[in-house]
Amino acid sequence: MRDLNKTIQKRYNRISGIYNQMDRMIKPEWRQELLSSLSGHVLEVGVGTGANLPFYPRNVRVTGVDFSSRMLQYARNMVQQLRTEDRMTLLEMDVQQMTFPDDSFDYIVSTCVFCSVPDPVQGLHELRRVCKSDGKILMLEHMRSENPVAGILMDLLNPLTVRLWGANINRRTMENIARAGLTIEKDKQLFGTILRRLEVTP
């Protein structure tokens, strides 16, 4: 698992400079809808280059983590541009083994993260651990299509996407969420069954 982590890290470090162009599948209005009503202390896992950071309300404190040091360089530049150093903290950390205490965060956010976590169920377990019992996990994730033909095509293409930039396009994320002991409260399909906005509770 450690070797796989390093491989994925290297791939994301390599594409960090062009990641924002690749990330355009997420519309700004989707980010706005996901983040605009948050409050308290928010953890964003897989913060990447910081594309979500401009959309957080001014009254929230954000801790962002990512295991790619190069991606975090771009995110730190974003924090400086926004002048939000007093309420946004960025840390290099693996979502599969976070150092935060249990029940630390009011909200946890992930956008297109669990396609690249080597052990997604372990990562989701960690989200459950560090989320407050009355907190919420908000996810905007792409996953394997429930359409049989499209799903098979995604299976065939997956080795190529993993090799190019480390992302699995055929993750069964809904099943992984259930395996991690989390409960899906809301499920909005944004692009068929491939891209979904989820509200999840511990």
Per-residue pLDDT tens over the stretch 103-128: 999 999 999 999 989 999 999 999 99
User: For residues 168-177, b (16+ Cβ closer than 10 Å) or e, as one string?
Assistant: bbbbebbebb
Cα–Cα distance for residue pair 44/42, rounded to 1 Å: 6
Q: Which two tokens stand for residue 61?
A: 């404190």
DSSP percent split of the chain into helix, strand, coil, nearest 5: 40, 25, 30
Residue 4 has pLDDT above 80, yes or no: no
Q: Which two tokens stand for residue 160?
A: 């190529």
The CA-atom distances, in angstroms, between 142 and each of 67, 73, 83, 92 are: 20, 25, 31, 23
Residue 185 has pLDDT above 70, yes or no: yes
Share the mean pLDDT of the chain.
90
Q: What is the pLDDT of residue 17?
A: 45
Place of tokens 């956010």: 109
Q: What is the pLDDT of residue 163?
A: 85
The CA-atom distances, in angstroms, between 132 and each of 64, 104, 106 are: 17, 6, 6
Put simply, whether the predicted model's pTM sits higher than 0.85 gets the answer: yes
Q: What is the pLDDT of residue 9?
A: 59
pLDDT band per the 50, 70, 90 thresholds, residue 30:
very high
Cα–Cα distance for residue pair 25/141, rounded to 1 Å: 11
98 in Cβ contact with 130 (< 8 Å): yes
> What share of the chain in percent tops pLDDT 90?
81
Q: Would you tell me how many other CB atoms lie within 10 Å of the CB of residue 183?
A: 12
CATH 3.30.830.10 for domain 2-201: no
22 in Cβ contact with 11 (< 8 Å): no
